Structure 1
Amino acid sequence: MYELNVEKLKAKASEHGDTSGHAIQKTTGINQTTVYRLLRGGAQPDLITAIRLSVTYGFDLRDVFDEVDEAIEATA
């Protein structure tokens, strides 16, 4: 299982001058509520959202997702 690493995403967005959720929303066109939920760690992006982020900021999806142990996830 994989999980979005919010700090890595923020770093990639920051490289393009987007240092706030509002800036990310404006650049990507992703719904503002979705952006803030992602940045707080309250949600994981669906495939379309993840691809939109990677295309907009020019990164490979593997650059911002971390593999997590499913056994840990099951107990959380």
Structure 2
Amino acid sequence: MYRLRITRLWEIAAAHGDTTRAAIHRRTGIAESSVHRIVSGQSQPDLNSALRLAEAYGVQVEDLMQRTDADTESVPA
């Protein structure tokens, strides 16, 4: 499973002048309520939202997401 790197999202957003949930909403078009849940860790972005975040901030989706420990443990060596 992959999880959003929330701290990384805030760093990237801040570099673009977006320091609030509302600013992320305006730049990405993701509903502000969804942005709130995503950045507070209450939910994970769906694929569409992850792609919108990456595109809006000019990064790859992989820059925003990380594999969880459960996934890395199940990957054969």
Runs of 5+ in structure 1 lacking a partner? 72-76
- Letter of the aligned partner of 1:36 in structure 2? H
Per-residue deviation, 1:69: 1.8
Identity %: 39
1:65-76 equivalences in 2 (<5 Å): 65-70=65-70
**1:3 corresponding residue in structure 2:** 3
RMSD of equivalent CA atoms: 1.1
**1:30 corresponding residue in structure 2:** 30
How many residue pairs were aligned? 71
3-state DSSP of counterpart to 2:66: strand
Stretches (4+) displaced over 6 A? none
1:17 matched to 2:5: no
Output the TM-score relative to the length of structure 1: 0.88
Per-residue deviation, 1:15: 1.0
Q: Deviations over 1:6-55 (max 9, x none)?
A: 00011111111001001101111110100000110000000110000101
Runs of 5+ in structure 2 lacking a partner? 72-77
- Distance (whole Å) between structure 2 residues aligned to residue 52 and residue 34 of structure 1: 13
- Distance (whole Å) between structure 2 residues aligned to residue 64 and residue 28 of structure 1: 14
Output the TM-score relative to the length of structure 2: 0.87
